[in-house]
Structure 1
Amino acid sequence: MPLFSIGTVQKLTGLSARQIRYYEEHGLIQPARTPGNQRQFSFADVERLMQIRQLLDEGHNIASVKRNLLDKDRRPRSSRPLSAKDVPDSEVYQWLERELMERRQTGEFQGDLSRFYRHR
């Protein structure tokens, strides 16, 4: 589900808007678009951008990153049963809320996702 603007994704990934657009131009990510044609990124898009950044930091070039991500996409997904190590969505959302509220007080994420969470 697309939730994040490009500005928020920049803060989450440490990438510049230009880098993110470049990766989109090369087909490494395909963010959703709003009716106004603005990019909207999902958690999966953010995770993929982090993978791209990691591969580039390891010394891979764009062609190698594309191959690596294509190979990963082609691998069958594990159908293993859930274990106690898997974190349920509710815990992920609680963690995200705590992080956003802590950062909201420092002003780092002011105006971003933190506005969806109210102090309780």
Structure 2
Amino acid sequence: MSKNNLNYSYMDFLSKVIVGIHEVSTITNIPVRKLRYWEEKGIIQAVDPTAKSRQFNLANIKKIILVQELLDDGYSLDGAARKVEDRIAKLDSLMSLIEI
């Protein structure tokens, strides 16, 4: 099995596990109100933005945790979001090059 297939499976898994916003708040220790604000700013995306109840996949939960860590280190919200997006893009690019 190539790393591309392994990476696809991992990314597929991250996108398929769905968690409600209140559970995300509990997992990340970030208030629901803040999560909703981050969604309004486009930093995270709900699985179905038109749904009454917000739900997020594991990929977004990872992003939430990384953004919060950078905020704790003194980054602005916009700066933290940019840094996380850049990091994700670099990792995705690297994973697409690696094969067993």
Which residue of 50, 54, 66 corresponds with 2:69?
54
Partner of 1:90: none
User: What's the % identity of the aligned pairs?
Assistant: 26
- Larger-gyration structure (1/2): 1
More helix by share: 2
Give the superposed CA RMSD: 2.1
How much does 1:14 deviate?
Answer: 0.2
- CA distance in 2 between partners of 1:11 and 1:59 (Å): 23
Task: Between the two structures, name the one with larger relative contact order (CA 8 Å, sep ≥ 6).
Answer: 2
Which residue of 19, 23, 27 corresponds with 2:42?
27
Q: TM-score, normalised by structure 2?
A: 0.70
- CA distance in 2 between partners of 1:9 and 1:39 (Å): 10
- CA distance in 2 between partners of 1:19 and 1:34 (Å): 16
Residue type of the alignment partner of 1:12 = I
Structure 1 residue 77 and structure 2 residue 89: aligned? no
- CA distance in 1 between partners of 2:49 and 2:63 (Å): 20
Provide structure 1 residue ranges, at least 5 long, that are not aligned to the other structure: 83-120
**Distance verdict in 2 for CA 1:30–1:81, change over 3 Å:** same
Count of residues in correspondence between the two structures: 82
- CA distance in 2 between partners of 1:14 and 1:20 (Å): 10
The answer to whether the 8 A contact 1:31-1:40 is kept is yes
Instruction: Tell me which stretches of 4 or more aligned residues in structure 1 moved more than 6 Å.
Output: none
Partner of 1:65: 80
Deviations 1:14-59 (A, max 9, x none): 0000110111111111111287432111111111110011010000
The answer to whether the 8 A contact 1:23-1:29 is kept is yes
Q: TM-score, normalised by structure 1?
A: 0.59
